[in-house]
Structure 1
Amino acid sequence: MRGSRLFGAAAILCGLLAPGFASVAMTQQQGGTLRVTHRDNPPSASILEEATISTDMPFMAVFNNLVVFDPESPVNRLDRIVPDLATSWAWSDDNRTLTFQLHHNVTWHDGKPFTSADVKCTWDMLTGKTDSKLRKNPRKTWWFNIKDVATDGDDKVVFHLKDPQPSIMAMFASGFAPVYPCHVPANQMRTHPIGTGPFMFKEFKQNESIKLVRNPNYWKPGKPYLDAIEYTIIPNRATMVLAMVTGKFNLTFTGELTPQLMKDIQQQAPSLQCVMQSTNTQGNLLVNRERPPFDNPLIRKAMTLAIDRKAFSDILSQGAYPVGGANLPPPEGFWGWSKEYMETVPGYGADVEKSREEARKIMRSLGYGPDHLLPLKVTTRNIQDYRDAAVILIDHLKTIYIQAELEPIDTSVWYARLLRKDFSVAMNIQGTGTDDPDVQFFENYLCGSERNYTSYCNPELEKKFHEQSMMQDIDARRKLVWEIDKQLQEDGARPVVFFAEAGTCWWPRVHGIRIARNTIYNHWRFEDVWLDQ
């Protein structure tokens, strides 16, 4: 039943996207600059080192992956993965060995040849098996199952896995898994990235703009069609919307429009093509369990019980945001809880006041009350989505004797603060980019993971992480995934508050835009995009 809903959603989106997809049947035109809005200043240009769409979207066009999710499929799915730098792949050794055959005659933007050594270097770097270190490695735990990577000539690379892992192909296909060049140091990739992709890096002006230009030697004949892509950083949404409706830009930054904003922008410019999608980002409460008094599990439990998830959805999206656990809810998500199962999870019931009374009882037992409030700062990223959610959280915490104030942090230092655990309580909106439990569990909940911002650690539950990862039976795997997810929420590991849905708009003169229904983190290579000038 869940699968049929997923494919039903895909069919609906195909209808929604018909104008954009049908346009590729027209004759593509060469030339022109695609002008795109951008919401904030990316922390760097290195996709492997960053954890935000602010880096992923603008710089994806510089690179290639081994494989990608099929852009013709409106839902990113494990069974819809197509070649990119790899021409083919094959499993052997009881699904513990994965061999990729690579394209010939591909060159990096600086003219050096791409070979299997670059693939090996990339994953040796990601798994920590080389002296070439990344300053940040937020997705190192994605590759927990890679034993080693070997080359077989220039055009073949072999991944040896510790255990069978069907979902590893989804990680390879993610926009967060580009291949990096062996000969370029990691620090240069942060400021002047070199790739094999359809566009070459030209300029990155902090707080102003990002500019890419056409790669004249791209290894896919005839592509790309655009001469250049320019992103202009506009932090204020009202200013961005005005610039978009007046035609200054061709495309909005992905997932930047709330349901109400998308409605408003279409009223102002009816000819704009807009799509609302699940961003595969979740609002979650981060409580630093290493800092007193939040090292007390009772306080963390009380904070979780204070949350009214429906109120978040109603205020932020007029009820459009779905509620779920760690995994993306259906129908867009394949691994999220059913509504019936979710109602069995503590804190997800409809009687919010009952939960809050339980929370107040806990707080009173710890000495807090109307005359003795717990003061704290709610740290959040200084962009509107985060600030709005943080303000709602502060209001909810007031109901259980917690007096909080907002501490907004600039994007350039936000993730560094989280990595250092330099916060007590934070409102976070985080995306994993791929709808798969291996990504979600190992990235966000594994003991010691860089992205495990709350320092949650449950070795016994981690055994189940590995157990579900190896399972071939989808239904059996989903059953175990739901049980793991329920335990994470009961433990208050990082309470999930909502899943965001947001819109992306472009003018009809832009052709070849691909939007996935279940993520904002893929399909931004722009090699098939062209302008009707």
Structure 2
Amino acid sequence: MTPAPSISRRHFHRRLAGLPLALAAVPAAAANAAPHTEPDAAPRHKPGSVVTLLTALEPPTLVGLVNSAAGTFLVSPKAVEGLLSYDFELRPRPQLAVAWEVQPDGLQYTFRLRRGVKWHDGRPFTSADVAFSVLALKQSHPRGRATFASVSEVRTPDAHTAVLVLSKPAPFLLTALAAAESPIVPRHVYEGRELASHPANNAPIGTGPFVFKEWQRGSHIIYERNPDYWDAGKPYIDRLVVRFVPDPAAAAAALESGTVDLAGATPVPIPDLDRLKALPHLSLDTRGNEYFNNSTTRIEFNLDNPYFRHAKVRQAVAHAIDREVILKTVWYGYGLAAPGPISPVLRAFYEPAAGVPGFDRKRAEALLDEAGFARGADGVRFRVSHDVFDGGGNRVGQYIRQALARVGIDVTVRTQEFGAYIKRVYTDRDFDFNNQGMSQMFDPAVGIQRFYWSKNFRPGVPFSNGAHYDNPEVDRLLEAAAVENDVAKRRALYAEFQRVIARELPTIGLVAVAQVTVANRRIGGHTVGAEGLSGNFADLHLKG
């Protein structure tokens, strides 16, 4: 067994909420965003070729070993790879591992590693690097602490075999091994030093198709082609430039003018998408967000509130809201209604028959009367505050204010910057209800359990169980699903979880918003699987 590295913990806050979100299949306007496909010659390396990728979020670090910020998981895989990558259906594909086997009891995962792979400094890649990285992720990565919690040891019987031994099953593990989520780093570089402050985090040494060149803070990152990449002939471009452009209007201008080639995470104002889509040199794509950005917007109630602790009041709120109106007016049709705790994008787990209350204003009025909150002389039943941050959340908040006013609930929308919102909701718990984005990730055990598990009520920790929801039956269902190896049984557990949440409504799902990639049509190979622009870009090429 490879010993665990010496690692110190680092407090971490990740901004998940409020970002534009992901879809695998979308209707109406979003369906029109599918790229126009034309016959293309086989990709080939073009000397001197440069592609510029735009991102609104400058990463805090360039390697996702101890940090899972959105900017980091975009750039980290370009240099530092993972054991696996994933197709659009989240099925695993080889990367640093070429074959894998899981024992029937789910307690042992054996990976056969790719031979002939070298780190950017020329040293060979071996199973010792895999063992070191998995144990480092278990100790230091914000999600890796939970993902790899059951990994008791990593055996390395030879240089090209790594065996993960688990104390209990973790059926999501085989989906958690993408480069951006679980990067494999060189043991000889990292071993013996504190990981969070390691200089290699800002000057990565990896096995990937691109070698780090420079990082000009506030401006750009430059990667250059790895001439010794294990996949012969790739990458097809000589230089990748990542530019930081936080202003959406400036991003739209840069894409329109051609000064940047590619941008994801709906980089422009949503009203601009149809205009950009009409330009002959640009294409829009909603694929490639299934792995990380599979998210929904939702209402979260403070169940300690004297009004929202009543299930009938929460049900009334659900009946008073028309998700289709939110989808059309706030997100311009780019998305799907997502009423439950699991998004319809997670098709393997989504239960459409969960029975979430639909739009019915008369029923909302009746439920509020039954709950004992009659209208006063001024027509108001009670007054509450609704907390949001950033533009999308505020637009949804204004709709909620208007919708609830019609059933006698007076809502004051409080908009604040992100840090103040996090403190108010998760530290001070000074809120009545909010709306926010919820990243569901690639599996409910990783992306959803944290919001509903009573053991994850952790004041001060962002994006935990902010509702203070406590239901022993839901705890049982979530805990059982997290270790259930049988696919059908696991789906049934999550289906029952969704039915319970539909009745009790500690949260109300609203919309799964389509996250859009805008690309110059001269660029190919940017979206080849579920990781999308967070892939390694080995297939990125110039057409023609």
Counterpart residue number, 1:317: 331
What are the Cα deviations for residues 410-446 of structure 1, in whole angstroms up to 9, with x where unaligned?
A: 7xx9879877577635432232331x33333444434
The structural deviation recorded for 1:514 is 1.8
The reply to whether residue 177 of structure 1 matches residue 187 of structure 2 is: no
For the Cα contact (< 8 Å) 1:69–1:174, is it kept in 2?
Answer: no
Residue type of the alignment partner of 1:445: Y
**What secondary structure does 2:416 align onto?**
strand
Percent identical among aligned pairs is 21
Instruction: Note the C-alpha offset of 1:499.
Output: 0.5
Aligned partner of 1:57 in structure 2 is 74
Kept after mapping to 2: 8 A contact 1:363/1:369: no
Determine the structure 2 residue equivalent to 1:159.
164
1:481, CA displacement in angstroms?
Answer: 1.7
Structure 2, gaps ≥5 residues long? 1-23
How far apart in 2 are the matches of 1:126 and 1:458? 31
Question: 1:288, 1:421 within 8 Å by CA — same for their partners in 2?
Answer: no
Q: Looking at secondary structure, tell me which structure has more helix per residue.
A: 1
Give the letter aligned to residue 311 of structure 1. Answer: V
Measured after TM superposition, the shift of residue 249 of structure 1 is 1.1
Are the equivalent residues in 1 in contact too, given 2:84–2:97 (CA < 8 A)? yes
| RMSD value, Cα | 3.9
CA shift for structure 1 position 475: 4.4
TM-score, normalised via structure 2 length: 0.77
Q: Which amino acid aligns with 1:60?
A: P
| Residues 196 and 310 of structure 1: CA distance in aligned 2, closer, same or farther (over 3 Å) | same
The correspondence for 2:344, drawn from 324, 329, 349, is: 329
> Partners of 2:421 and 2:26 in 1: how far apart?
38
Shift of 1:117: 2.8
Do the aligned residues in 2 keep the contact of 1:258 with 1:502 (CA within 8 Å)? no
1:92-131 counterparts in 2 under 5 A?
A: 92=103, 94-128=105-139
The CA distance in 2 between the partners of 1:485 and 1:198, in whole Å, is: 41
Q: Are 1:438 and 2:453 an aligned pair?
A: no
The CA deviation at 1:190 is: 5.3
Specify the SS of the correspondent of 1:25.
coil
Give the drift of 1:66.
0.6
1:241 corresponds to which of 224, 243, 252: 252
User: Residue type matched to 2:363 in 1?
Assistant: K
The answer to whether 1:492 aligns with 2:509 is: no
Q: CA deviation at 1:369?
A: 7.8
Give how far 1:229 is off. 2.0
Question: Aligned equivalents of 1:306 and 1:49: distance in 2?
Answer: 42
TM-fit CA distance, 1:222: 2.7
The residue aligned with 1:146 is: 151
Q: Distance in 1 between matches of 2:361 and 2:536?
A: 44
> Unpaired runs of 5+ in structure 1?
1-5
- Contact 2:83/2:97 (CA < 8 Å) preserved in 1? yes
CA contact (8 A) 1:181 1:194 kept: yes
Cα distance between partner residues in 2 of 1:416 and 1:203? 35
Shift of the 51–26 alpha-carbon distance from structure 1 to 2, 3 Å rule, reads closer
Does residue 218 of structure 2 align to residue 201 of structure 1? no
8 Å CA contact 2:48–2:238 kept in 1: the answer is yes
For 1:368 and 1:138, locate their aligned partners in 2 and report how far apart those are by CA, in whole Å. 51
Question: Structure 1 residues 499 and 180 mapped into 2: Cα distance closer, same or farther (>3 Å)?
Answer: same
Could you say which residue in structure 2 is the equivalent of 1:82? 93
Contact 1:302 1:360 in 2 (8 A): no
Which residue does the alignment assign to 2:42?
25
- Shift of residue 199 of structure 1? 2.0
Checking the alignment, whether the CA contact within 8 Å between 2:298 and 2:437 is kept in structure 1 is yes
Check the 8 A contact 1:53/1:521 in 2, yes or no.
Answer: no
- The equivalent residue for 2:85 is 68
2:363 to 328, 348, 354: 354
Distance in 2 (alpha carbons) for counterparts of 1:266 and 1:337? 33
Are 2:286 and 1:276 equivalent residues in the alignment? yes
Q: How far off is 1:329 after superposition?
A: 0.9
Q: Structure 2 matches for 1:439-458, cutoff 5 A?
A: 439-449=446-456, 451-454=463-466, 455-458=468-471
Structure 1 counterpart of 2:275: 264
Aligned amino acid, residue 84 of structure 1: Q
- Counterparts of 1:403-482 in structure 2, within 5 Å, are 403-409=412-418, 424=431, 425-434=433-442, 436-449=443-456, 451-454=463-466, 455-471=468-484, 474-482=487-495
Aligned residue identity for 1:336:
Y
Does the 8 Å contact 1:326/1:440 carry over to 2? Answer: no
Aligned residues: 497
Name the amino acid aligned to 2:435: M
Which amino acid in 2 is paired with 1:214?
A: R
**In structure 2, how many angstroms separate the alpha carbons of the residues matched to 1:77 and 1:178?**
17
Deviation of 1:60 after TM superposition, in Å, equals: 2.4
- Distance (Å, rounded) in 1 between the aligned partners of 2:404 and 2:57: 28
**Residue in 2 that maps onto 1:3:** none
Conserved? CA contact 1:373–1:403, under 8 Å: no
User: Residues 125, 402 of structure 1: CA spacing in aligned structure 2 closer, same or farther, 3 A cutoff?
Assistant: same
- In the alignment, the residues of structure 1 paired with residue 435 and residue 496 of structure 2 have an alpha-carbon distance, to the nearest angstrom, of 25
**How far has the Cα of 1:213 moved from its partner?**
2.9
Q: Cα–Cα, structure 1 residues 261 and 110, in superposed 2: closer, same or farther, change >3 Å?
A: same
Change (3 A) 1:522 1:271: closer
